[in-house]
């Protein structure tokens, strides 16, 4: 097994996979309403697309994409109690981190398109440092919810037209010559990614998609993140899947909550 952690805060000792190492927030940047970027006093060796389990004592533990490794950086949008607890942390506050977990993006040659929706831009930021030749497009509901635009040099789409193209990022991309790309890397709301998957299949373009699923353990033990019908564990076999790995699965149709109930997308 490869070494997972290269360096960590001296205050916490070596991070371990089976329990969180405690790191301190050194910088908390508010990027938009409910969206923060946290810089921590530790480092982590990871592949773009991998995630960490982030623990806020007394609240919960949640998976978050890793944005930077040295120093360790996280991007979070408040959508519930745990994400709000992480988002509201300030410099000097502490949180637990374990990981990295899962499979990251496989970086290939050729011309690539990076497509992000909302906070889904997070894993594309470190990926952009590894991909030689790419275009990028980012979408969000409104201009103040756009993230990572400058780092990706991305074209922009907003639902309300407050910045860039007025409409969905998939509609923006449909106007491009889609099949000129060799690889599409995508992360965002699953309905958006499902539309991109269909475009990849129709255009004969390879695609890689980073999924978000409810996770409890993050290490393949609890089954809370499994996809129907094959039982692929998003925390181990994913969160990044190729187009072929998603065809015929529940992807784009429904997700499960913490109680295992199905919710249509
Ligand atoms: S989160 Fe437990 S198996 Fe994936």
Number of the ligand 1 atom closest to the C-alpha atom of 223: 3
Residue 147 domain-assigned (yes or no) = yes
Residue 11 domain-assigned (yes or no) = no
Residue 127 domain-assigned (yes or no) = yes
Same domain as 245, residue 181: yes
* 99 CB within 6 A, ligand 1: no
99 CA to centre of ligand 1 in angstroms: 13
232 CA to centre of ligand 1 in angstroms: 10
| Residues 108 and 182: beta-carbon distance below 8 Å | yes
Same domain as 133, residue 55: no
Instruction: Enter the pTM of the model.
Output: 0.91
| Residues 40 and 23: beta-carbon distance below 8 Å | yes
Q: What is the pLDDT along the chain (265 residues), one digit of tens a residue?
A: 222 343 333 334 445 445 678 999 999 999 999 999 999 999 999 999 999 999 998 899 999 999 999 999 999 999 999 999 999 999 999 999 999 999 999 999 889 999 999 999 999 999 999 999 999 999 999 999 999 999 999 999 999 999 999 999 999 998 778 889 999 999 999 999 999 999 999 999 999 999 999 999 999 999 999 999 999 999 999 999 999 999 999 998 888 888 888 888 8
Please say which residue of 73, 101, 129 terminates a domain: 101
Q: Write out the residue range of the structural domain in which residue 180 sits.
A: 112-264
Radius of gyration of the chain (CA): 18
3-class DSSP state of 91: coil
Tokens of 78: 């408040």
DSSP 20: P
236 CA to centre of ligand 1 in angstroms: 8
* Among candidate residues 219, 211, 213, 220, the one with its CA nearest the CA of residue 243: 211
Number of the ligand 1 atom closest to the C-alpha atom of 221: 3
* Among candidate residues 149, 167, 108, the one with its CA nearest the CA of residue 132: 108
| Residues 89 and 44: beta-carbon distance below 8 Å | no
Number of the ligand 1 atom closest to the C-alpha atom of 216: 1
Supply the DSSP string of 177-219, one letter for each residue.
Answer: -GGG-SEEEEES-HHHHHHHHHHHHHHT-EEEEE-----SSSS
Residue 2 domain-assigned (yes or no) = no
* 221 CB within 6 A, ligand 1: yes
Same domain as 126, residue 79: no
Residue 86 phi/psi, 5-degree rounding, is -70, -45
CATH at 151 = 3.40.50.80
CATH at 77 = 2.40.30.10
């Amino acid at each position: 097994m490869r070494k997972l952690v290269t360096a960590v805060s001296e205050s916490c000792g070596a991070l371990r996979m089976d329990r969180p190492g405690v790191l301190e927030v050194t910088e908390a940047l508010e990027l938009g309403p409910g969206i923060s970027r946290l810089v921590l006093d530790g480092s982590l060796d990871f592949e773009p697309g991998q995630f960490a389990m982030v623990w806020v004592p007394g609240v919960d533990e949640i998976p978050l994409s890793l944005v930077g490794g040295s120093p360790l950086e996280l991007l979070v949008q408040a959508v519930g109690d745990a994400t709000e607890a992480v988002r509201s942390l300030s410099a000097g506050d502490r949180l637990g981190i374990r990981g990295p977990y899962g499979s990251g993006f496989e970086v290939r040659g050729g011309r690539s398109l990076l497509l992000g929706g909302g906070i889904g831009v997070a894993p594309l930021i470190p990926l952009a440092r590894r991909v030689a030749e790419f275009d990028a497009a980012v979408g969000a509901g409104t201009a103040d919810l756009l993230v990572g635009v400058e780092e990706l040099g991305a074209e922009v789409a907003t639902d309300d037209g407050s910045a860039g193209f007025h409409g969905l990022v998939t509609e923006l991309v449909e106007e491009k010559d889609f099949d000129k790309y060799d690889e599409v890397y995508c992360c965002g709301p699953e309905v958006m990614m499902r539309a991109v998957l269909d475009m990849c299949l129709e255009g004969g373009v390879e695609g890689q998609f980073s999924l978000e699923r409810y996770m409890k353990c993050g290490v393949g033990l609890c089954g809370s993140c499994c996809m129907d019908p094959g039982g692929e564990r998003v925390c181990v076999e994913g969160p990044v899947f190729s187009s072929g790995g998603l065809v015929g699965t529940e992807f784009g149709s429904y997700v499960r909550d913490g109680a295992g109930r199905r919710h249509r997308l």
